[in-house]
């Protein structure tokens, strides 16, 4: 007999809680600003690679006031290993200028203002809101979209629809932690390629 979605959700939460009782944020950061920059850099780049690049960048500028003193070319040279360095360096410089000019150097604490910043999309804003400020959000990236589709919890054609489904299915107080638990689980047990469902603690149960 096929499992109902409610039963699947309960099982997922139980398994993920056992596997990942602690969920450290994979991106190294010190405060909301350095998290924002790290998340921006992680677009189409691994967290591990971002973590090799940010120490050099943050040693020069770990706040918007110092960042705007660097030229776009200087930023680009450091972040080149992360890919899309042309766009990302302009976004980092641009958003830092806006933070200084409009927000007294502070990262805004709401989605609307975050999403207006250059290079900051909905997912990036959701991560910052949830992980830097502890507000309930469910950032859905392509990996979480893949998992929830694989487990029959969404038929969403994109991450926006999948996020809506995830927010409907999972208790709001668990969103922030679940987002990270799913990322860790996908990397360790449920990859896109070379996946053996029978060896996966969740797929083998469905």
Cα separation, 82 vs 44, whole angstroms: 8
Residue 116: active-site member: no
Please state the length of the chain: 206
Here the contacts of 23-28 (C-beta below 8 Å, separation 24 or greater) are 23/177, 23/180, 23/181, 23/184, 25/131, 25/180, 26/51, 26/180, 26/183, 26/184, 27/51, 27/54, 28/54, 28/55
Cα separation, 204 vs 153, whole angstroms: 16
Cα separation, 16 vs 185, whole angstroms: 8
- Given the residues 8, 62, 123, 165, select the one marked as catalytic: 123
Residue 77: active-site member: no
Token duo for residue 56: 């050099």
Q: Which residue has the tokens 């890919």?
A: 83
For residue 111, the number of C-alpha atoms closer than 13 Å in the C-beta half-sphere is 12
Tally of CB atoms within 10 A around 16: 21
- Given the residues 62, 88, 141, 165, select the one marked as catalytic: 141
Catalytic residues: 123, 141
């Amino acid at each position: 007999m096929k499992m109902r979605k409610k039963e699947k959700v309960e099982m997922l939460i139980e398994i993920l809680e056992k596997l990942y009782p602690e969920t450290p944020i994979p991106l190294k950061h010190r405060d909301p600003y350095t998290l924002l920059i790290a998340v921006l850099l992680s677009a189409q780049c691994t967290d591990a690679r971002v973590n090799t690049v940010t120490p050099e960048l943050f040693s020069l500028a770990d706040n918007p006031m110092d960042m705007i003193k660097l030229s776009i070319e200087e930023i680009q040279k450091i972040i080149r290993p992360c890919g899309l360095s042309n766009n990302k360096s302009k976004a980092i410089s641009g958003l830092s200028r806006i933070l200084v000019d409009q927000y007294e150097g502070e990262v805004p604490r709401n989605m609307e203002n975050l999403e207006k910043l250059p290079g900051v999309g909905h997912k990036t804003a959701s991560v910052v809101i949830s992980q830097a400020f502890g507000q309930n959000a469910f950032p859905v990236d392509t990996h979480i979209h893949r998992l929830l589709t694989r487990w029959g919890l969404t038929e969403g054609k994109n991450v926006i629809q999948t996020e809506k489904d995830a927010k409907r299915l999972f208790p709001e107080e668990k969103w922030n932690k679940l987002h990270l638990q799913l990322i860790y689980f996908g990397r360790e047990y449920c990859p896109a390629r070379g996946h053996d469902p029978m060896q996966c603690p969740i797929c083998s149960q469905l």
